[in-house]
Structure 1
Amino acid sequence: MEYQIKATSVSNKDATLHIKQSDIAFGTTSNSAELLPNPAELFLGAFASCMLKNVERFAATLKFTYLKAKVNVSATRVEKPLKMDDINYTLTIYSSDDNLNIPLLKKNIEKFGTIYNTVKLSCNINGVIVQNKTV
């Protein structure tokens, strides 16, 4: 598979990702720092998106149902060398299904997640998956 996106920016203004039929604004100036996602947050968003896509994918494979899933992701920026490190996540699956096998789901997300596997080559990832049966 191959992927392609486009992005544009205007001097002293902000930027936009153009992906399929979506435009996603992001900040490149100090004026938008509190309003728009920055590149580091978009990076973490891609990581979270990968996890949620795989919950949907593995729900069918592992034969469990869920109402919704939510992931909280945080990371630390290291100064030398300048990079993201120590990504931590909590993935909550809202499901009363007893077929939900958390250890197997976690193993599959960690083994088959494209973005997850790309990121783990460059930084530490720690996370937990929890089931919330009260929906």
Structure 2
Amino acid sequence: MTYAINAKSFANKDASITIKETSIQFGTTPQSNDTLASPADLFLSAFAACILKNVQRFSVLMKFEYAYADITVNAIRLEKPPRMDHIDYQLTVYTNDQNLNSALLKKNIEKFGTIYNTVKLSCTINGTVTTKA
């Protein structure tokens, strides 16, 4: 499987990424620090998207139903060299389904997530998976 995106940046302006039919603006200038996503924000967003995609995927394989899932991701960035050092996530799956085994869902997310597995090679990841009705 292969992937392709296109990104553009113009001098003294912000940038955008085109992915299939989606366009995402992101900040590259000091003026947009507080208003647009940074590359680090996009990185963490891809991590979160990977986990949420796998909730959907495993809801079919594990045969559970859910209304929605919510994830919060926090990260610690080191300065020298600049990189993400630690990622912490809290995933909540909103369901009334008693068939959901949260521990197994977490194990599957961590074993089969493409972005998750790529990221865990370079930094530590801790996470929790909980359910709420």
Task: Give the whole-Å Cα distance in 2 for the aligned partners of 1:93 and 1:23.
Answer: 28
The RMSD of aligned alpha carbons is 0.5
Partner of 1:38: 38
* Match of residue 11 from structure 1: 11
Give structure 1 stretches of 5+ with no counterpart. Answer: none
Unmatched 5+ stretches in structure 2: none
Tell me the distance in 1 between the aligned counterparts of 2:18 and 2:82: 27
Correspondences of 1:62-77 after superposition (within 5 Å): 62-77=62-77
Query: Counterpart in 1 of 2:129?
Result: 129
The percentage of counterpart residues that share the same residue type is: 58
Structure 1 stretches (4+) deviating beyond 6 angstroms? none
Match of 1:57, SS? Answer: helix
Amino acid at match of 1:111: K
Residue type of the partner of 1:130? Answer: T
| Residues 47-56 or 80-89, more deviating | 80-89
Q: How many residues align?
A: 133
Whole-angstrom CA distance in 1 between matches of 2:8 and 2:115:
23
TM-score, length-normalised on structure 2? 0.99
